[in-house]
Structure 1
Amino acid sequence: MLPDTVPTEIRTGRLLLRAPAPQDGPALSAAVNASRPELRRWMRWAHEPLDDAAATLNLTRAAARFADRSELRSLIWDARGRTLLGSSGFHALDWEVPKGEVGYWVHSAHTGHGYATQVARTLAEVGVSVLGLRRVELRCDALNVASAAVARRAGFGVEGLLRHDERASDGSGALRDMLLHAVVR
């Protein structure tokens, strides 16, 4: 069952998570392009540069999915809402269970400050207490040691290893294993 209300803004002490808006396209393209060398290893969508027009279209579509509750993506900003630090949100939502998967990436210039952990922890809390999710998942490539550490620090328990679950994002075509983490209520 779809929740009656979904917060379009979530504030923590250091961060603002805000629903996507088309006018954020230039900030998104700048952050993605600056981070592509690191993101390409883990994110298939990061292989090609992102121009402002494509980023604006991406956020227009994300805003529509947010409105219909099929995906609840948020942009990660500093507390004042001036610097785009990355993107996160709930993907693979299944309102019948109800459950969702947290995904995230952080601008390369802002990694190592605990933002991903804070975002994952905050979204797990909001997912359970506000959205009524019974299960919040976080998946990462088994080789992505940093993301696995984020999941642990954010309170997600390891549920298993999904062998040969996806193709590698590095362009090699190799099958990769995924770690499945979850918070269950």
Structure 2
Amino acid sequence: MRPNEVEPILLQIPESLETNRLIIRAPQWDDGQLVNEAVKQSIDELRPWMPWAQQLPTLEESEVITRQGRVHFMKRSDLMLYLIHKRSGAFIGSSGLHRIDWAARKFEIGYWINTPYAGQGYITEAVEGITRFAIDSLQANRIEIRCDARNVRSARVAERLGFAKEGILRSEKPDVSGSLRDTVIYAKVRGHEF
């Protein structure tokens, strides 16, 4: 480790945060059923964008992902976060801070929504809350949102929240069909957008 670096596992990171309508929290044991039901409701909307959504997961597979998310959160290697409606307790979707570089304090925000809650501003609210959390609690220097260039709804979230479009990585990675896709990169950087 460099002199000013801290071992990530020693970082005191809150397990949850709140926005106006949401509790945004780390995965817990037995959350697999909530996730599984949401994926089943949303599979048709997720399938074009998410490689993991090409077939319906079993309940056991959803629980494994949830538990792995919990372990990664505790190790600080990936901060998966679940979006829970404050009043109803409904599972709204998933987000988090991924591809973490602790030395640079760089994070990537990813997200997906449970289809019955789409178009109601929940993802924008969650991403805004997670961005603020990364800046205030984790001293982020750079926060990215990356999406398939064809995923207009995902790009609108970044644009709505003032993320700067930095560019397009052409033929950057295979999409769910195996064809190369273009990836749009949006970012907020300390000293510029915050």
TM-score for both structures, normalised by structure 2: 0.91
Among 119, 136, 141, the alignment partner of 2:148 is 141
Structure 2 Cα separation of the partners of residues 51 and 146 of structure 1: 28
Instruction: List alignment gaps of at least 5 residues for structure 2.
Output: 1-5
Counterpart for residue 28 of structure 1: 35
Deviates more, 1:92-101 or 1:119-128: 119-128
CA RMSD of superposed structures (Å):
1.1
Post-superposition offset of 1:52: 1.3
1:77-96 mapped onto 2 (5 Å cutoff): 77-80=84-87, 82-96=89-103
Instruction: Report the structure number with the largest CA radius of gyration.
Output: 2
Aligned to 1:60: 67
1:15-70 CA-to-partner distances (Å, cap 9, x unmatched) read 11010012111110010111010101000000111121111111111100000100
Q: CA deviation at 1:81?
A: 6.2
Percent pairwise identity: 37
1:176: which partner in 2? 181
**Deviation of the 1:155 alpha carbon:** 1.9
Q: Distance in 2 between matches of 1:13 and 1:90?
A: 20
Number of the residue aligned with 2:114? 107
> Counterpart in 1 of 2:166?
159
The C-alpha deviation readout for 1:126-170, integer Å capped at 9, x for no partner, is 11111111000000110111111010112211111111111112x
Match of 2:165, SS?
strand
In structure 2, distance between residues paired with 1:59 and 1:80: 23
**CA drift at 1:85:** 0.6
Task: List alignment gaps of at least 5 residues for structure 1.
Answer: none
Contact kept, 8 Å, 2:26 with 2:81, in 1: the verdict is: yes
1:27-46 map, 5 Å: 27-46=34-53
**Rounded Cα–Cα distance in structure 1 between residues aligned with 2:140 and 2:91:** 27
Q: Is the 8 A contact 1:137 1:181 kept in 2?
A: yes
